[in-house]
Amino acid sequence: MSKIKGGPQILSSVQNALRLLKSFSTFEPTKRVGELAESLGLAKSTVSRLLSTLASEGFVIKDEKTNAYRLGLSVLTLGGIITNDLEIHKEAAPVLYKLVNDTGETAHLAILDGLDTIYIHKEECNHPVRILTHLGRRNPSYCTSSGKVLLAFSEPKIVGKVIDGGLVKHMHNTITDPGQLQGELEIIREQGFAVSTEELTEGTRSVAAPIRDYTGQVVSAITVVGPIQRMTDHKINRIAKKVMEAGNEASERLGYDERYFKRLRS
Amino acid sequence: MSKIKGGPQILSSVQNALRLLKSFSTFEPTKRVGELAESLGLAKSTVSRLLSTLASEGFVIKDEKTNAYRLGLSVLTLGGIITNDLEIHKEAAPVLYKLVNDTGETAHLAILDGLDTIYIHKEECNHPVRILTHLGRRNPSYCTSSGKVLLAFSEPKIVGKVIDGGLVKHMHNTITDPGQLQGELEIIREQGFAVSTEELTEGTRSVAAPIRDYTGQVVSAITVVGPIQRMTDHKINRIAKKVMEAGNEASERLGYDERYFKRLRS
DNA sequence: CAATTTGTTCCGCATAGGGGAACTACTGTC
DNA sequence: GACAGTAGTTCCCCTATGCGGAACAAATTG
């Protein structure tokens, strides 16, 4: 039991196992027993047992030579299932593909999960110079173009939480001032797209636009990322237009009727 | 403890949680407490607790309206990490992309995990009529082209295990006779590619070729899948040639030196 | 060949977690 | 709209499980 007042019942060993899995990352794809014990605050013996169990079901793989553990293929299988399961995919995938062809840059579909954005789909460009991202990648919402789009069209409460959570300076262009963020979101609502230039990652620029479902709600964002050298100022408007068109097409495929909602608003 | 003689220590609650996760599939992406309790042989209360714990860490999502559970985004994140981590990817991805363009059909990278094949990479074609597959998908090795390629170039012991495990008839063309399978593997070794026509899934045909690493060992298979209407007999040789070329190129990128090994063999 | 470091198994105790029952929330039916 | 029926969560109790620590084993280093 971890919560105090009779909340949902949590199994601590399972929780430990899940946290252990989550402690893997793109930057640290392998981990050892000792490290994990330390970072999770558990005894080595406990971690060892957790890993054996995880390994027996294929969630981690042990390198018998080095004793290092990495994520296992079960995880990949589950990832494939959820990908298939997400509705938006089926509709937005072809749009995304077209967008990559039109712009020559990698495109993503992103949604808000808590206060972060998550890439739920990725269509890679074939430029040799690429931006390193991956499916399922979690980024802070306030310093990515997709995140800003999603914030701009979500409840003010969410934006408040993001601000309360702290606007950490990841790069020289990161927005750290709450007022400035609010202003930016207002602009995004007006112009219908967001741009982010070196706010999270050095040398990258991204453009994003909203995707709406049949209720008119913004459910995800479509975004294009590339190195700033290719995403130049005078190309950015053309790209933004393409991204918005793609967003609109995806929205229509999800049953969004723009004219109906425009009439409502007026 | 699940194993009898002092094997690795297994945490039953964790094992239950992992098996629960694995019981989701493309065909049943949502599950309810009752179903899971039955299929796992656990009490409803137990399953309920497991799900609460999994949900609290984002491994499953509960639909509050219907009480159905589906896989959560944590799973997607982990899937992205492992994808990034697999070496073969970086080298084979562009080759795969080219193959899709050349053949117009969806291509995969597959490896052997235990006695099954797993798709570790997928590059989709843009035909409106597509074969439903997904990343991480697990298939029996003896009735897919990629599986047969991997078996053909793996230790005889593995093939023995597959045969001992039983050759289940999934489709009218499934190979169920051990001798016939051995013969087929021999042919694959000679010609350098495998074809599978409606051996696992109705209406589909696939072609696969091996990928070797710098040690000369076959580490994965590259494969193209499509509906039989498009994968006609008179096109199949052209496709097989393309797949083999792609396999060779990927092998070279992994440091395989064909000439060196040819000299060794002679 | 010690010495050190790292991972696994053993051990014993406290407690977490399993099953079943009770409770609660929905569904659908007449 | 009341009532039966179903499905999920919480409670309770008891046992087995899973935790930490220590001992053990294996690998690495000087």
Whether B124 shows a pLDDT value over 50: the answer reads: yes
Residue A38 lies in a domain: yes
Q: What is the pLDDT, as a whole number, of residue A5? A: 36
Euclidean distance between CA atoms A247 and B71, whole angstroms:
26
If phi > 0 it is left, if psi is from -120 to 50 it is alpha, else beta; for residue A192 that is left
Residue A6 lies in a domain: no
A30 and A95 belong to one structural domain: no
Q: For residue B50, what are the domain limits?
A: 12-76
Question: Is B101 in CB contact (< 8 Å) with chain A?
Answer: no
Å between B72 CA and D19 C1'?
A: 29
Closest-CA residue of chain B to A22 = B78
Q: Which of A76, A97, A113 is the last residue of a domain?
A: A76
Q: What is the pLDDT, as a whole number, of residue B264? A: 66
Q: Which of B76, B105, B128 is the last residue of a domain?
A: B76
Euclidean distance between CA atoms B196 and B208, whole angstroms:
9
Q: Are the CB atoms for A75 and B79 separated by under 8 Å?
A: yes
Least confident of A249-253, B77-81, B128-132, B185-189: B128-132
Euclidean distance between CA atoms B69 and B58, whole angstroms:
11
Q: Which of B49, B76, B103 is the last residue of a domain?
A: B76
Euclidean distance between CA atoms A225 and A210, whole angstroms:
15
Query: If you search the block for the tokens 């060992």, which residue do you land on?
Result: B217
A64 and A103 belong to one structural domain: no
Euclidean distance between CA atoms A64 and A58, whole angstroms:
15
A60 and A151 belong to one structural domain: no
Residue B157 lies in a domain: yes
Tell me what the mean pLDDT of segment B183-193 comes to.
96
Q: Which nucleotides of C are covered by protein (CB under 7 A)?
A: 6-10, 16-21, 27
CB burial of residue B26 (10 Å; 0-12, 13-18, 19+): middle
Q: Which strands form A204-212's sheet, in the order they lie side by side?
A: A138-140, A116-123, A106-113, A218-227, A204-212, A194-197
Chain B contacts in chain A segment 24-53 (CB below 8 A) = 24-26, 29-30, 48-50, 52-53
Beta-carbon neighbour count of residue B211 at 10 Å? 31
Å between B190 CA and C1 C1'?
A: 53
Chain A contacts in chain B segment 129-168 (CB below 8 A) = 132, 134-138
B125 and B17 belong to one structural domain: no
Residue B3 lies in a domain: no
- Nucleotide with minimal C1' distance from the CA of A67 is C7
Q: Are the CB atoms for B14 and A53 separated by under 8 Å?
A: yes
Whether B2 shows a pLDDT value over 50: the answer reads: no
pLDDT in tens, B53-66: 999 899 999 888 88
Q: Are the CB atoms for B236 and B245 separated by under 8 Å?
A: no
B139 and B258 belong to one structural domain: yes
Question: Is B76 in CB contact (< 8 Å) with chain A?
Answer: yes
B95 and B27 belong to one structural domain: no
Q: Which strands form B106-113's sheet, in the order they lie side by side?
A: B138-140, B116-123, B106-113, B218-227, B204-212, B194-197
Å between A26 CA and D14 C1'?
A: 44
B181 and B127 belong to one structural domain: yes
Å between B46 CA and C17 C1'?
A: 8
A95 and A166 belong to one structural domain: yes
Euclidean distance between CA atoms B73 and B84, whole angstroms:
17
Bridge-based pairing of strands B138-140 and B116-123 is antiparallel
Å between A11 CA and C15 C1'?
A: 12
Inter-chain CB proximity A135 and B73 less than 8 Å: no
Q: Could you tell me the CA-to-CA distances from B222 to A143, B87, B96, B99, B252 in Å, in that order?
A: 38, 15, 8, 10, 14
Residues of A in contact with B119 (CB under 8 A): 80
A90 and A110 belong to one structural domain: yes
Residues of A in contact with B85 (CB under 8 A): 26, 29-30, 70-71
Inter-chain CB proximity B79 and A136 less than 8 Å: yes
Question: Is B217 in CB contact (< 8 Å) with chain A?
Answer: no
Question: Is A54 in CB contact (< 8 Å) with chain B?
Answer: yes
For residue A203, report the phi and psi dihedrals to the nearest 5 degrees: 80, 5
pLDDT in tens, B205-223: 999 999 998 788 898 999 9
A104 and A32 belong to one structural domain: no
Residue A3 lies in a domain: no
Residue A5 lies in a domain: no
- In terms of DSSP H, where are the helices of A156-210? 156-164, 178-191
Q: Is B18 helix (H, G, I), strand (E, B) or coil?
A: helix
Whether B45 shows a pLDDT value over 50: the answer reads: yes
Residue A81 lies in a domain: no
Q: Give the start-end residues of each E strand in B185-261.
A: 194-197, 204-212, 218-227
Chain A contacts in chain B segment 104-123 (CB below 8 A) = 113, 118-120
How many helices and strands (H and E) does chain A possess? Answer: 10, 9
Supply the CATH number for residue B232's domain: 3.30.450.40
- Nucleotide with minimal C1' distance from the CA of A43 is D20
What single-letter amino acid sits at A47?
Answer: V
Angle, vertex CA B130, rays to CA A111 and CA B114, nearest 5: 80
Supply the CATH number for residue B27's domain: 1.10.10.10
Inter-chain CB proximity B10 and A135 less than 8 Å: no
Q: Is the CB of B38 under 7 A from strand D?
A: no
For residue B85, report the phi and psi dihedrals to the nearest 5 degrees: -80, -25
Euclidean distance between CA atoms B183 and B154, whole angstroms:
15
Tell me what the mean pLDDT of segment B99-121 comes to.
91
A54 and A122 belong to one structural domain: no
Find and give the residue nearest to C5, measured CA to C1'.
A34
Q: Are the CB atoms for B184 and B175 separated by under 8 Å?
A: yes
Q: Is the CB of B1 under 7 A from strand D?
A: yes
Q: What is the mean pLDDT of chain B?
A: 88
Q: What is the pLDDT, as a whole number, of residue B71? A: 92
Total domains in chain B come to 2
Residue B5 lies in a domain: no
pLDDT along chain A (266 residues), means of 10: 48 91 88 90 89 91 87 90 74 86 92 90 77 85 96 94 93 95 96 95 94 86 93 92 94 80 63
B145 and B222 belong to one structural domain: yes
